[in-house]
Amino acid sequence: MSTQLGGQPILILKEGSSRTRGRDAQSMNIAAAKAVASAVRTTLGPKGMDKMLVDTLGDVVITNDGVTILKEMDIEHPAAKMMVEVAKTQDDEVGDGTTTAVVIAGELLKRSEDLLEQDVHPTVIAQGYREAAEKAQAILKDIAIDVKANDTVLLKKIAETAMTGKGAEAAKDKLCDLVVKAVMMVADEDGTVDTDNIKIEKKVGGSIEDSEIIEGMLIDKERVHPSMPKIVKNAKILLLNAAVEFKKTEVDAEINITSPDQLQAFLDEEERMIKSIVDKIVASGANVLFCQKGIDDIAQHFLAKAGVFATRRVKKSDMEKLARATGASLVSSIDAISKQELGHAGLVEERKVSGEEMIFVEQCKNPKAVSIIVRGGTEHVVDELERAIDDAYSVVSVVLEDKKYVPGGGAPEIELSLRLREYAASVGGRAQLAIEAFATALEIIPRTLAENAGLDPIDMLVELRSAHEKGKKTVGLDVFEGKAVDMLKAGVVEPLRVKTQAIASAAEAAVMILRIDDVIASSKSAAPPAGGPGGMGGMGDMGGMGDY
């Protein structure tokens, strides 16, 4: 450094810190972000491949889902972590299109590198990208198509598009039916859907075809006493958040018992207290009891004698879903039990699923909570199925909320690319270069779809472009046929929000990474080397103590 004091350079940063500036910092960050995008790029589309991720404990995850891959990868580089955030946001907002968002962000940065080499200033590129992203949102809204809330055929196609290319494809007809049915059941009148009300239970065993929807709830528990009925028809359900056992005294109290008949009286009284609780439950007319807390052994015996089907220690989240499904109220005190608090279900039954007992609460009148039981040959299959179903019900609920969809298969990206080029010409100046780069970057989606399907990307892009130039806005790439096809006829459709969110978050991440021109990394605290720096024995070690 130039600043010297008696021949001694002044160090501003702590020893061991690293600093990368200017173009070096930009190219380092861009390289890291591009590496993340290329890691997931091969999973895009119906012909995308899967990744096998092995963690430190040796657990294996096999998946095609962009956000799962990025979450499982142990990413260290700060710019690469930003790309993971893009995928997470996309997953939270829409539930699908995570790979698309990351791939677009990576390509935007790649295109910006060419501009940086032409000495276009990063802020000019950032401004152009922002303008292009805004314009893209407007164009997307323009090409979006309205959907009616009861159009189950279209909703099923949207679920199918989200599932294609995942391990669930083998039984996608059946699974899409389940998903659309489930979303329609839990949807509120105003079209909003709380996907938390769809419960997915995974069970290894059987095949994908054995997956089914339960119009009500599925609870991974068993009844507490073997002599209780296994099946209860026309069930009146009590949801109790209180223990069915005798109350212990709140204060520290001792009871001195001096003779055997006193002990017997004490035990009889305990039993009478529990019997009175059970009598209250039976008197309310309940024949099924779901208890969030414990049920005493004596209580179990009395409940079984009264023919009540009971289970204990049910999870709070399950209790809330049961309340939605059956219309019961959660009762938190024994004294508050009454007929008005009960819910109804046509059938409550304990069945064996893959060798384990589970309780099915079915035939609810208007279930606002449903369960999907997912079956498959191995644990990995079931896990990937769950992720596919998760994506599918997320997109169906997004479409129900927004009531807008766009064609898939790279059609919106090609249309955006063409329209943004026209827009760029009208803007002029240096920003035009950035907007054109944005337009080119969007073509990465159809290009990747073609590459992953083993088709010639250039031929496919030319074919798609010429179709769009003729005004065919809905033409996309059919990777099975290997040609440009009208995506609406092919039934490849996606929610509008998948695209708007992917482009918005990709542009924001790319701009953020572009604007960084200085990376200052502190040194990692590590044990000081023996003898300390500069061989100053004990002094060096003392200096190192500050690191701890």
Rg (alpha carbons) of the chain, rounded to whole number: 31
pLDDT for position 544: 42
- Greatest alpha-carbon span in the chain: 102
Burial (CB count within 10 angstroms: exposed 0-12, middle 13-18, buried 19+), residue 525: exposed
CB atoms within 10 A of CB 406: 25
Distance CA 175, CA 198 (A): 14
Distance CA 318, CA 322 (A): 6
Burial (CB count within 10 angstroms: exposed 0-12, middle 13-18, buried 19+), residue 28: middle
Q: What is the reported pTM?
A: 0.77
Distance CA 383, CA 439 (A): 37
The pLDDT profile of the chain, 548 residues, written as one tens digit per residue, is 445 555 666 667 777 777 787 788 888 888 988 998 988 888 888 888 888 988 888 888 888 888 888 888 888 888 888 889 888 888 888 888 888 999 999 999 999 988 888 888 888 999 999 999 999 999 998 888 888 877 788 888 888 888 877 766 667 777 788 888 888 877 776 667 777 777 787 888 777 777 777 777 788 888 888 888 888 888 888 888 877 777 665 667 777 777 887 788 877 777 788 888 888 888 888 888 888 888 878 888 888 888 888 888 888 888 888 887 788 888 887 777 888 888 888 888 888 777 778 888 888 776 777 788 888 888 888 888 888 888 888 888 888 888 888 888 889 999 999 999 999 888 878 889 999 999 999 999 999 989 988 889 899 999 999 999 898 888 888 888 888 888 888 888 888 888 999 999 999 999 998 888 888 877 765 555 554 444 444 444 444 444 44
**Domains annotated on the chain, with CATH:** 18-146+407-520 (1.10.560.10), 148-215+367-402 (3.30.260.10), 222-246+254-348 (3.50.7.10)
Strand ranges in 369-511 using DSSP code E only, listed in sequence order: 370-376, 404-407, 475-478, 483-486, 493-495
pLDDT for position 224: 83
pLDDT for position 548: 40
Residue pair 181/193 in contact by the 8 Å Cβ criterion: no
Distance CA 259, CA 526 (A): 70
Q: Give the helix, strand, coil percentages of the chain, each rounded to 5.
A: 50, 20, 30
The set of residues, in sequence order, having a beta carbon less than 8 Å from that of 439 and lying 6+ positions away, is 132, 416, 417, 418, 420, 421, 424
pLDDT for position 427: 85
Distance CA 64, CA 398 (A): 21
pLDDT for position 547: 44
Interstrand relation of 343-353 and 231-240 (parallel, antiparallel or unpaired):
antiparallel
Phi first, then psi: give them for residue 450, nearest 5 degrees: -65, -45
pLDDT for position 168: 62
Residue pair 469/421 in contact by the 8 Å Cβ criterion: no
pLDDT digits (tens, 9 = 90+) for 91-104: 888 888 888 999 99
Residue pair 243/294 in contact by the 8 Å Cβ criterion: yes
The set of residues, in sequence order, having a beta carbon less than 8 Å from that of 31 and lying 6+ positions away, is none
- Helices 152-163 and 172-186 cross at an angle (nearest 10°) of 120
Report the catalytic residues: 65, 98-99, 391
Q: Over 438-475, what HEC string results?
A: HHHHHCHHHHHHHHHCCCCHHHHHHHHHHHHHCCCCCE
- Helices 172-186 and 379-402 cross at an angle (nearest 10°) of 50
pLDDT for position 437: 92
Query: Contacts by 245-254 with C-beta closer than 8 Å and gap 24+?
Result: 245/274, 245/294, 245/295, 245/296, 245/299, 246/270, 246/273, 246/274, 246/296, 247/273
